[in-house]
Amino acid sequence: MADPFAVTNQAPPLRGVNFFTQDPALGDALRPYADLAGDPGLHRIGELAGSEEALSHALPANQNPPVLRTHDRYGNRIDEVEFHPSWHWLMEQAVGFGLQAAPWTSERPSPHLTRAAGFYLWSQVEPGHGCPISMTYAAVPALKADAQLAKEWVPQLASTQYDIRRLPAAAKNGVLAGMGMTEKQGGSDVRANLTTATPAGDVYQLNGHKWFCSAPQVDLFLVLAQAPDGLSCFVVPRVLADGNRNPFALQRLKDKLGNRSNASSEVEFHGTIGYRLGDEGAGVRTIIEMVAATRLDCVLGSAALQRRALVEASWHTQHRSAFGGLLADKPAMQNALADLALESEAATALGMRLAAAVDSSDPKEAAFRRIALPLAKFWVCKRTPFMVAEALECLGGNGYVEESGLPLLYRESPLNSIWEGSGNVNALDVLRALRRPESLEAWLLEVGSVQGADARLDAAVNDVLQALADIENAEAGARRLAARMALCLQASLLIRHSTPEVADAFVASRLANDWGGVFGTLPRTTPFEQIVSRAIG
C-alpha cells in the first residue's frame, strides 16, 4: 500500500531556469530590431531572475510591506519609510542592471530596447519594486525641458549604484525619482489640482497635498502645482543642497490591493522647495514625457506578469497528473495553455515594438508611439487580470495559496491598467491622437505592412476605418475602437515575426471571432502542442 503521507504528484520548484534563453517569443520580438540573442547583460538578468536566490525574495518583500516612520525617538519629523531587506536586494539588482535611467546616457546600440527586455525579464521576479525603477527611467525625458536641471540630475539618475542614504544628490552615488500629480479632488483630472507654487527668488514654495505619491523614499519628485500663470511642473528634492530636509510630510501609506512591497503615500507640502521645470502653465505638456515613458513600462510590466503566469501554469501542468495522465496532455488544458501563450506573446511583441520606437529618431516612429502607446496601455493592461486568473486556475487550489506566488501576480494584475491613466483615459487619448493625421498614418503603415497576408486582418482594418468615419462622436465607442486597433497591431506583428501557427490562431480567435470569449476556446483544429511547446522553450 502506498504511504498516505508521502508527497507525490506535486510539481517541483521552478528554479534554475534562464528566463531569457527559455523565452522564444521574446527572442522573436527582439530580433527584427536588434541582435540581442547573445547579449551578456540579458543573459545575466535571465539567469538571476530564474534563480532560487531571486525567487526567494519575492514573497518576503510582499509579506513584509513598508512601514512609515514619521518621527524619530526624539520627536523630530523624519518622514521615512522602512523596507524589508528583500526589497533592497531586488532594488540593488535592478539598479545594478541599469534598468532605471541608464539607457538615456548609454552609447550602446538599441539601449531602450535592451532595457525593455531586461525590465520585462526582471519584473517577472517581483513587480512592485519596478515602480521606482520605472519612474526614474521616465523622469529623464521630462527633465530635458531644462538643460541645467538635466545636467544636475540625469548623471545621478543613470548611475547603476543603489544608494539609500538620505543625503544631497551631489553626495550620493546614485539617486531615484518619483512623481506627484494626483490629488483628492482631481484624480486623473490633474488640471483640477489645488497645490500652489509661489515664486520665492530662484525657487518656488509649494503648499498643498498629493493623494497618491508612489515610492516616497526616493530622492526627487516631479510635481504638478498651480503657479501664477497656471499649472506647472516642478522638481522637488527630498534633501536640499545644504543638507537640510525639504518639507515633505508623509501622512500615511496606502493599504493597497496589490503592489504591497512598494510604498504609496499621501504627502503634504508646507513651504516645500521646488525648481520649475519648463514654462509656467506648461505643466501637463512638460510632465507628459514622463507619463509616456511610464506607460511603456505599464505595458512591459503587464507583459511580464502574463509571461510569469504562463510559465507557472505550464510548469505545473507538465508535472501534475489527473484522470489518468499529465494535465499538460489533456486536450482541454492544451487549449487553455495555447490560448494563454497567444495572449502572452502578443503582449510581448507589442511591448518590444514600442521600445524599439523609443530608440529611433525618425518622426514617423514618434507618430507611431503617439498612437500605439495608449492603444497598448489600454489593451495589454486590461487583458492581464483575465489572463493571470486563468493561469492561476490551471494550478487549481495550489494556485490559490500564497506560497505558489500566483496570488501575488493576481493582486498586481489590475494595477497597470489604473496607473498613468485608466482604461477610459487611454481610450480617449487614442481619439485625441487620431485627430492628428500622422498618427492614423503611422498605425495604417504598421498594420498595412502585411496587407494581403491575411484576409481576416484586412477586414478588421477596414472595420476600424469605417468606425473612424465619425471620429467627432466616437467617445462612447472609444474602448471598442482602441481594443480593435490594438488587436490589429498585435496581429500584424505576429504575422511578421512569429510562427504561422501562432499568427493564424491569434487572428482566428481575436479578429475573426472563432473564439468563445474565454481562454481555452480556440478552434479545435488549432495546433495546441506546437504553440505551447514554443511558449515554454
Evaluate whether 237 touches 246 at the Cβ level (below 8 Å).
Answer: yes
Question: 395 is written with which cell numbers?
Answer: 494550478
Residues 402-429, mean pLDDT to the nearest whole number: 95
> At residue 409, does pLDDT exceed 70?
yes
pLDDT in tens, 67-110: 999 999 999 999 999 999 999 999 999 999 999 999 999 999 99
Average predicted confidence (pLDDT) for the chain? 96
The whole-model pTM stands at 0.97
Per-residue confidence (pLDDT) for residue 2, from 0 to 100: 79
**Across 330-336, average pLDDT:** 97
Over residues 486-502, mean pLDDT: 98
pLDDT, mean of residues 409-417: 98
The per-residue DSSP string of 239-267 comes to B-TTSPBPP-EEEEE---SS-TTS-EEEE
The vertex-25 CA angle with 24 and 30, nearest 5°, equals 100
Asked whether residue 148 carries a pLDDT value surpassing 70, the answer given is: yes
What does the pLDDT read at residue 100?
95
Give the residue-averaged pLDDT of 524-534. Answer: 95
pLDDT above 70 (res 537): no
Closest CA to 63 of 8, 116, 128: 128
| Degrees, nearest 5: CA angle 73-76-82 | 65
Count how many Cα atoms sit within 13 Å of the Cα of residue 240 in the half-sphere of its side chain. 12
Residue 251 burial (C-beta neighbours within 10 Å; 0-12, 13-18, 19+) = middle
pLDDT at 61 over 90: yes
- Examine the pLDDT at 1 and tell me if it is beyond 80: no
Predicted local distance difference test score (pLDDT) of residue 273: 98
Contact present, 433 and 366 (Cβ < 8 Å)? no
Give the mean pLDDT of 234-261.
97
Q: What is the CATH class of 40-281?
A: mainly beta
Cβ proximity of 377 and 134 under 8 Å: no
Give the rounded percent of residues in the chain with a pLDDT score beyond 70: 100
- What are the structural domain ranges in the chain? 40-281, 285-536
Of 3.30.70.980, 1.20.140.10, 1.10.3470.10, 3.60.9.10, the CATH number of 285-536 is 1.20.140.10
User: What is the arithmetic mean of pLDDT over 349-372?
Assistant: 97
Distance CA 204, CA 273 (A): 6
pLDDT, one tens digit per residue, over 267-305 is 999 999 999 999 999 999 999 999 999 999 999 999 999
pLDDT tens digits along 443-478: 999 999 999 999 999 999 999 999 998 888 889 999
